[in-house]
Amino acid sequence: MNLTIRESYSRPFEFIPQTILWTIKHRDLEKTNDNLIGINSSIILNLTSLIESFNKELMISWIKNHLSESKTETEPVTETDDLPNWDKSMSEFLLERLTDELILEIESSEWNKQIKLFTKITNNEIKNIVEQETLDGINQLFKYRNIITHGNKLSLVEWVYDGKISERLEPNKFEAIFTFLKQQGFVSGKLKDVKSNIFELTFSNEVVDYFIKSINKYLEQVKQSFGMSAEINKTLFELKI
């Protein structure tokens, strides 16, 4: 018995750009700081969803495109009860099974795992595909996402030692946010002198707009590296915010 399977699906990256642009339009009319923090937090969540869903579709499209180039004809999927179809060579059977397992691994992946999968699939590290400054911005974006999704507090701690004042963000793993803000010119001097609410600074319009620029650079650099074209996947090829 032959079984033909057809699948129609969508991913978040298809609608998120328009959602973000609509949100920014209304955000820029907002004057209440608490509302701005909430709006920018929602934009950050959408941005990370865009990146992860884009990466999944990109890798799977790339795999399927390369496999289709190696086949002379498309065959219907045959029900096999998980046993090899001995009409095929064992190498073809193994290739199909390994490909299916790889696609399942991609579908369940998040950002850190996707970085490793890029290397696994292309034999090239992401740092050789994406400019370091852009990659730093994306890594920072996911640190922000973790603050929101895990409900972490973000504290500014000051201490005085021998007349010298020092400050840092806690938990310590978010200290990189402080360094990031200074490197990008979003803050100078002491954080305590800039904003009374640390979230007001770290989730500012300027920070979020920087992430959007980083994502657009990331999209272009990755699409170019993977040789993405409108013929392979038009939606991916045209994706930007």
Beta bridge partners of 156: 169
pLDDT digits (tens, 9 = 90+) for 77-107: 555 555 555 556 767 777 788 888 999 999 9
Tell me the residue length of the chain. Answer: 241
Alpha helices (H) along the chain: 16-27, 33-70, 90-107, 111-122, 132-149, 175-183, 198-202, 205-225, 230-237
Is residue 43 within 8 A of residue 23, CB to CB? The reply is yes
Domain ranges of the chain: 12-57+131-237
Summary mean pLDDT of the chain: 83
pTM of the complete model = 0.81
How confident is the model at residue 178, as a pLDDT? 75
Q: Which residue has the higher pLDDT, 167 or 113?
A: 113
Cα separations in angstroms, 158 against 2, 99, 171, 185, 201: 69, 53, 13, 21, 17
Closest CA to 26 of 50, 15, 42: 42
By three-state DSSP, how is residue 77 classified?
coil
Beta bridge partners of 165: 160
